[in-house]
Structure 1
Amino acid sequence: MPGKRALILVENLSVPFDRRVWQESQTLRDAGWDVHVICPQGTKRDREPYVELDGVKIHRYPLVAATGGPRGYVKEYGAALWHTLRLARKIAKQGRIDVVHACNPPDLLYLVAKVLKRQGTKFVFDQHDLCPELYLSRFAGRGEDALYRAVCRLERATYKAADVVISTNESYREAAITRGNMDPEKVFVVRSAPVIERFQQVEAEPELKKGKPHLLCYLGVMGPQDGVDYALRSLALLREERDDWHAVFVGAGDTFDEMVALAGKLGLDDVVEFTGRIPDEDLVRYLSTADVCLSPDPHNPLNNVSTMNKVMEYMAMSRPMVSFELREARVSAGDAAVYAPANDEREFARLTARLLDDPEERMRMGKLGKERVEGPLAWSNSQKALLAAYATATS
């Protein structure tokens, strides 16, 4: 599409730190699109208000992350919406925008799209999360209250405004078709996939195991719905049976400090290490050395139908993993994981122990996972779906 301009909107991560958005931006650039991205500034990286990286023009705004429950998110999202609209209008003055591509959460960015649609811009809704399920999972004690109902209305309004919907998996596509009343021919599955070049095995470093025979590894965000607390309680149960392992938790998030405190409360300080966010080269060192990886996302309305990036990244590194029983976890990992019944911490610990004792099974599972991310789950397949979605939107 030479000469066409695309504007991608994302609120919850900076770019290029948001790997999915960065992959989409590069795919569109390679197809001839002039790509602009509006996103928040990062906390430690991606700080420049404007930068052009590899031909992608990135416009960033300052944003303070939410604290204090739902009210904090209302404040965060309101500020993000104002900045996004301000920058979108500025970019639109420089030339026609053919497609505005909004990535949720929140389901508020359709308001920016509606402003641009008055000028003939098409709206592609890239649904990273099902926000009603996200609300129920993150604020479980509130139930289907007035704010939940408002979240549902915003999702319906976003579907109604969309010319095309991009879903991360078939569960999300089903939601767009059934409760969003979208034409199935206008809903495309663009699965998130790891950047294979980023995940190349290096020689294992036994010293990372801190003198133990085995290393367990968790990689990912640490938020209320991510299950790090389930993993820690499972490890406390595992330690009652054996102490031949060291565990490392890589990543950060809203509950990072809380999880460090929980590890101390459970008496795991000497066997559990929290690294925070680390450079890619260090991440690869840990994953190359890990014997078993942990995917402890508990069963809840959101996790059951979501594709976990950590699962894909473990497979890219040929690592076997333990997961709770989740619909989309099985779709992604297949036999590259073993599955504990939903939220059963003792069974999660037992399956972890089983894999530690079976190196041949670990190798078999790792090989299967690698084959999946290099085959049916490869980004090359998602690239075709993304370009088909854009072709449909602009036809």
Structure 2
Amino acid sequence: MPSCVIIVENLPVPLDRRVWQEACALRDAGWTVSVICPKSKQFSAAFETIDDIEIFRHDLPLEASGRTAFLFEYAAALFHEMRLLFKVGRRRGFDVIQACNPPDLIFLVAAPFKLFGKRFVFDHHDVCPELFVAKFERKGFFHKLLLLAEKATFRTADLVISANETYRSLAISRGGKKPEDVVTVYSVPDKARIRRVAPDERLRAGAQTVLGYVGIIADQDGVDHLVRCVHHLATDHGLRSIRAVVVGDGPALESVKRLAGELGVGEHITFTGYLRGEDLLAALSTFDIGIIPDPVNEYNDKISMNKVFEYSALGIPSVSYDLTETRRLLGEAGRYAADATPAGLATAARPLIEDLELRRAAGERAKALADAQFDWDREAARYVAAYARLAPQADGRAVRGV
């Protein structure tokens, strides 16, 4: 039986939905799967087995917020990833190492194992050089280092799994990969796990319209734009019977809460924190309109956001800025702000708030799009087929253990 170990640094598993779905797809295809990831408050066990997938978690010394802190975090993570790779190797062996960025440094722990015949897969979740520019609004020395790390990762990889077609183009043009060695797999939710349930009326709190957000709450995610959007809707447009429900957690959570208080819209916004299982589905089922507040920049223009897939799967109409990948995915099923400001986002959302028939039709278009195009079974089949060429029996090599 072929085996692999998946390394992800920025989120624990199974919270990272893409990684968990990939791990399950490989398990269902007959692979032995292990995962190395960080701990969190919700997932604090150093080791556990879920559905026959062994998960090894490690501590991180801090939640990085500056360049120096990021370097310290990455160094600690690389140490633990190397330590746990040896542990997985002794425990059950592996034929393939899959690294999920950010950062583009995990190739450093994978590269030595290639000397023992292991294969390396790069699961390209984020464009880190563009993310740096979005966070720090500059390029310079660290940006050049990130470009070098990205190129080294691409060159080390036997196979690249791209999160969208834009990423695939970058792997080929900027990373020098052969087209046949780059496969696109979108982060589409598994329809067996995402469905409408009874809404949580406590979250609605009597409001006529609920604007929803689900995801990580970091500076680049634009939750502050959502807060300002609510402020514009309540003050400039006079729409007082609205409520925003923000589902998720992250380093910018406290700052956006403060902003809501400063703008006087704290009573219109509920921050639920991290939710899972039925609680998450109930919150999502309460959303009338899904807000995608990620601001316009070089990074967000290239990424395919999980929110797009999740809102659409539940028939929730989306309002966003006019971002290339978002428009590529949603097309006419989305509504886009005419200008890249929270005021523009509010203006785009207003017709869906006031016109129930327009909102219903927009939700139906989103659901029809999801049913026709956002199919995890199809993405999983493409992912597993790409992996099959790396299995030991595919090239006659038996590379078990370390």
Aligned partner of 2:399 in structure 1 is none
Identity rate of aligned residues, in percent?
39
Aligned partner of 1:208 in structure 2 is 203
- How far the C-alpha of 1:22 sits from its partner, in A, is 0.7
| Superposition map of 1:42-191 within 5 A | 42-43=40-41, 45-94=42-91, 96-140=93-137, 143-191=138-186
How big is each residue's C-alpha offset from its partner over 1:139-185, in whole Å with a ceiling of 9 and x where there is no partner? Answer: 12xx1121111111100100110111000000000000000010001
Write the letter of the residue equivalent to 1:160: R
- How far the C-alpha of 1:382 sits from its partner, in A, is 0.9
Indicate the SS of the match to 2:280: helix
Write the letter of the residue equivalent to 1:14: P
Cα distance in 2, alignment partners of residues 101 and 342 from structure 1: 39
Q: Is the 8 A contact 1:326 1:342 kept in 2?
A: no
Aligned partner of 2:376 in structure 1 is 379
Aligned partner of 1:359 in structure 2 is 356
User: Which of 188, 193, 205 pairs up with 2:188?
Assistant: 193
Cα distance in 1, alignment partners of residues 352 and 200 from structure 2: 20
Query: Structure 1's 207 and 256: CA in aligned 2 closer, same or farther, altered over 3 A?
Result: closer
Q: Is the 8 A contact 1:234 1:349 kept in 2?
A: yes
Cα distance in 2, alignment partners of residues 181 and 352 from structure 1: 42
Provide TM-score, normalisation by structure 1.
0.95
User: Which of 283, 292, 296 pairs up with 2:293?
Assistant: 296
RMSD (Å), alpha carbons: 1.6
Cα distance in 1, alignment partners of residues 89 and 66 from structure 2: 35
Provide TM-score, normalisation by structure 2.
0.93
Q: Is the 8 A contact 2:98 2:123 kept in 1?
A: yes
Unaligned runs of 5+ in 2: 395-402
Cα distance in 2, alignment partners of residues 96 and 221 from structure 1: 33
Is 1:35 aligned with 2:33?
yes
Cα distance in 2, alignment partners of residues 58 and 210 from structure 1: 39
Cα distance in 2, alignment partners of residues 327 and 65 from structure 1: 34
- How far the C-alpha of 1:225 sits from its partner, in A, is 0.4
Write the letter of the residue equivalent to 1:131: C
User: Which of 208, 230, 237 pairs up with 1:235?
Assistant: 230
Query: Structure 1's 264 and 376: CA in aligned 2 closer, same or farther, altered over 3 A?
Result: same
- How far the C-alpha of 1:68 sits from its partner, in A, is 4.1
Cα distance in 2, alignment partners of residues 129 and 18 from structure 1: 13
Indicate the SS of the match to 2:389: helix
Indicate the SS of the match to 1:9: strand
Query: Structure 1's 288 and 224: CA in aligned 2 closer, same or farther, altered over 3 A?
Result: same
Q: How many residue pairs are counted as aligned between the two chains?
A: 390
Cα distance in 2, alignment partners of residues 209 and 38 from structure 1: 38
Q: Is the 8 A contact 1:11 1:40 kept in 2?
A: yes
Q: Is the 8 A contact 2:63 2:251 kept in 1?
A: no
Query: Structure 1's 91 and 210: CA in aligned 2 closer, same or farther, altered over 3 A?
Result: closer
- How far the C-alpha of 1:278 sits from its partner, in A, is 2.4
Cα distance in 2, alignment partners of residues 326 and 138 from structure 1: 17
- How far the C-alpha of 1:217 sits from its partner, in A, is 1.3
Is 1:268 aligned with 2:253?
no
| Superposition map of 1:309-328 within 5 A | 309-328=306-325
Query: Structure 1's 176 and 50: CA in aligned 2 closer, same or farther, altered over 3 A?
Result: same
Is 1:19 aligned with 2:14?
no
Is 1:283 aligned with 2:280?
yes
